[in-house]
Structure 1
Amino acid sequence: MGSQPTEARLGHLFDFKQDARRVFDVLRNGGIAICPSTIGYGLITSNPRKLEQIFLAKGRAPTKRHANVGSYTVHRELHVMPDQRSRDVVDHLVFDLDLPLAVIAPFKENHAMWDHLDETTMEATSVDGTIAVLINAGPFQDELTKLSLAADLPILGSSANLSQTGTKFRVEDIQPELVDVADIVIDYGLLKYYKYQRSSTMIDFSKPTPEIVRMGSCYDIIRDALWRRFQIETPEDPGLEKNPFGHLKTPAPLESLQRLIDGPAKSRSQAMDVA
């Protein structure tokens, strides 16, 4: 039998810090990256115009919003949690149970991070004064967000898949047209929570009682913990066949996103008329 791994050998196959630095350099220069997290591969950028490119390439609907790639530290830096119980819920899920989570909560609108975003992008990143921040989604993301927080550079995006085709947990499953828009791809193979076949579980903490917005990876454990520790009732998961993407709530469509979607279609129509 081989010897047990020593501390010096742990993590020797993936250089999370170096990979994060490579991606951050691309993002800081306005590029697009495909990156791993425990809940699937993401398509991310820090450039508002490239964010629009991602949105169009994926074929997203005007009801969709951009998510913030974050960490627990980023969550505490940006979010304004309404009460101690909300903070306790997040801490229990993230620290005691080590689960990935997308936290939706009111945010500090005057934070320096938002100086990089225009008004239209901010509108498409928030819903009713809240933003979603994905936290505890693996060591690579934690290293990447250390760099982004130090530079006050937001990282935004969504899962690396065409809309309505489901989260991808292997790079080879990502549609080629999305791989083509990326300036860098970090391939960590099959990702941790692939058996759930969904992205992150999203919880809205802006209400008096936390509400599930999306049932995602680890929802079964999260649901049990919310009731067992906090007596918070949440819906039962009907399963992938009845609700493949886990969404329970959908924001209202944004006119700005609809105009973005209509723009290329109108251009194609005008080109055909000219021809």
Structure 2
Amino acid sequence: MAASSTPQQDVGYVIVAANLDAIERIFIVKKRKEGHSMGVIGTYDLLTRLYDLPDGKYTIVRIFTEELGLTVAFVGKMKESAAELISNVERVVTNGTLGFTAGEGPFSCELARLDDENGLVMVGSSANLTDQGQKFRVEDIEPEIVEAADLVVDYGRQKWHLYGRAGTILDLIMSVYCGSGQTMRVYGRS
């Protein structure tokens, strides 16, 4: 993908890109501050190429995304070798960590699959100005965000619009001991 678009995710619309110029355009139009990174949207296979995780955590990711079809984002430690795969990596990685969402819904899943097939990594963020809240319909996206996109896909009102919240993030780095074993800390986005 050479330019940005705004496909729907289960938790709202996103603006994504897979090349250096378009990633920078997203960063500027969203009014992101230095250190406020964007995430990768891709396939489970891409996640395994980007993240440095123990096998058990890969299993958890696969079960959540592929078997249960849950809408979950992840934060994990990036493999050092993965930096060369991501255009404008400094806009995506913070302190060696990377945010990742498996493609949600048929359109995003197919876009992620095509990116994989073509050796591209899709980077993005919610289709809004920074800190202005998730957008659940195309008509709610700020005009400057829409104008910055080369393609806008109106996929209707997003699946979880009634809750008025963004999705859940699983931190694959931090662990807390819960008496009987290790568990991951879960964060809710708002």
TM range (shorter): 0.7 to 0.9
> Which amino acid counterpart does residue 68 of structure 2 have in structure 1?
L
Q: Give the aligned length.
A: 188
2:63 to 71, 89, 92: 92
**Hey, what does 2:149 align to over in structure 1?**
182
**Hey, what does 1:4 align to over in structure 2?**
none
Using a 3 Å threshold, how does the CA distance of structure 1 residues 100 and 61 change in structure 2: closer, same or farther? same
Q: Show CA shifts across 1:11-57 (max 9, x none).
A: xxxxxxxxxxxxxxxx2xx3221111111111111122222221121
Alpha-carbon separation, structure 2, partners of 1:99 and 1:131: 19
1:193 to 160, 165, 169: 160
Displacement of 1:231 in angstroms is 7.1
Using a 3 Å threshold, how does the CA distance of structure 1 residues 234 and 125 change in structure 2: closer, same or farther? closer
- TM-score, length basis structure 1: 0.61
More strand per residue: 2
Alpha-carbon separation, structure 2, partners of 1:33 and 1:153: 15
Using a 3 Å threshold, how does the CA distance of structure 1 residues 132 and 234 change in structure 2: closer, same or farther? closer
Q: How do residues 237-248 of structure 1 correspond to structure 2 at under 5 angstroms? A: 245-246=189-190
Alpha-carbon separation, structure 2, partners of 1:45 and 1:158: 10
**Hey, what does 1:41 align to over in structure 2?**
13
Using a 3 Å threshold, how does the CA distance of structure 1 residues 153 and 88 change in structure 2: closer, same or farther? closer
Alpha-carbon separation, structure 1, partners of 2:97 and 2:86: 18
1:58 and 2:30 equivalent?
Answer: yes
Q: Show CA shifts across 1:79-106 (max 9, x none).
A: 222242x233323322453211112222
Q: Show CA shifts across 1:184-220 (max 9, x none).
A: 111110011112323332222123449xxxxxxxxxx
Q: Which secondary structure does the structure 1 equivalent of 2:148 belong to?
A: coil
1:31 and 2:7 equivalent?
Answer: no
> Which amino acid counterpart does residue 77 of structure 2 have in structure 1?
P
Structure 2 unaligned residues grouped into runs of 5+: none
2:52 to 69, 80, 88: 80
Whether the 8 Å contact between 1:80 and 1:107 is mirrored in structure 2 is: yes
Q: Which secondary structure does the structure 2 equivalent of 1:206 belong to?
A: strand
Whether the 8 Å contact between 2:171 and 2:184 is mirrored in structure 1 is: no
Alignment RMSD (CA, Å): 2.6
Structure 1 unaligned residues grouped into runs of 5+: 1-26, 211-226, 238-244, 247-275
Identity %: 31
Q: How do residues 250-261 of structure 1 correspond to structure 2 at under 5 angstroms? A: none
Displacement of 1:138 in angstroms is 1.3
1:202 and 2:183 equivalent?
Answer: no
Q: How do residues 1-275 of structure 1 correspond to structure 2 at under 5 angstroms? A: 27=1, 30-84=2-56, 86-111=57-82, 114-115=84-85, 117=87, 121-209=88-176, 232=183, 234=185, 245-246=189-190
Which structure would you say has the larger Rg?
A: 1
Alpha-carbon separation, structure 1, partners of 2:145 and 2:85: 28
Displacement of 1:172 in angstroms is 0.6
Alpha-carbon separation, structure 2, partners of 1:66 and 1:104: 11
